[in-house]
Amino acid sequence: MSDAALAPQRVLVTGGAGGIGLAITRAFAATGARVHIADPDVAALTAVTASDGAAITGNVCDITDPQSVASMFADLSRELGGLDVLVNNAGIAGPTAPVDEFAREAWDAVLAVNLSGTFDVTRRAIPLLKASPAGSIIVMSSLAGRFGYPNRVAYATTKWGLVGFTKTLALELGPFGITANSIHPGGVEGERVRQVLRGRAEMSGRSVEEETERAMDNQSIRRFTEAADIAALAVFLAGPHARTISGQMLPIDGDSKAAQ
């Protein structure tokens, strides 16, 4: 076995201090990887890096700000000495409104994070990944990146856009041995999906339990996905058994039939 195969992976996770991103951060760290997280939440990032020892480092980083991204990569290079895995997880949902009532400022804000920020991080990561013996890029899309999503036009547009972005990366970077795949979660177990269901109940006049049943009726597997399962999929896609999996969209959503 080569020294490269024995070396710990060096991983960057954007939005890595909370939610799915935190689950991914900790899943990679549990394998022995060295993980650097980029997150705008000062308190969350400080808590994660303080509690998880030297395996997890990080920067407060706004991926819509090129200077912030450049500073983060300077710190990453100093901390990790290179990069093997990029997990583009950072993203925002934006408001809920029909297209004709959707504010241009809100549209611009969602695209700035989900598309332009992801682009900027990735373009800066590529030279480091080309130097890796087994580079991987993982892009967090969504169920909304496979279906239309009423009243969530900016979010759905960006999540579809990330699919084209990922497939282009796979074509361009395959000759360098770098894989690129997108993960498409549906409803993820936790407070966020419960909050969504409470909001739907308030709008519809139905109970939270009724809204939960309606959500489950959309899926073949009647339960929400665990963040830890999404994290395990990310670790697999960056691992040795996935070196020929690239350019793929991987749903993890209970076989959902629509975004709703």
Q: Which residues are catalytic?
A: 155
For residue 9, the tally of other CB atoms under 10 A from its CB is 20
3-state secondary structure labels for all residues of the chain: CCHHHHCCCEEEEECCCCHHHHHHHHHHHHCCCEEEEEECCHHHHHHHHHHCHHHEEEEECCCCCHHHHHHHHHHHHHHHCCCCEEEECCCCCCCCECHHHCCHHHHHHHHHHHHHHHHHHHHHHHHHHHCCCCCEEEEECCHHHCCCCCCEHHHHHHHHHHHHHHHHHHHHHHHHCCEEEEEEECCECCHHHHHHHHHHHHHHCCCHHHHHHHHHHCECCCCCECHHHHHHHHHHHCCHHHCCCCCCEEEECCCECCCC
User: How far does Cα 199 stand from its chain's mean position?
Assistant: 24
Query: Using CA atoms, how far apart are residues 12 and 15, in angstroms rounded to an integer?
Result: 10
Q: Compute, in degrees rounded to 10, the torsion defined by CA atoms 136, 221, 163, 115.
A: -90
Tokens, residue 38? 């980029």
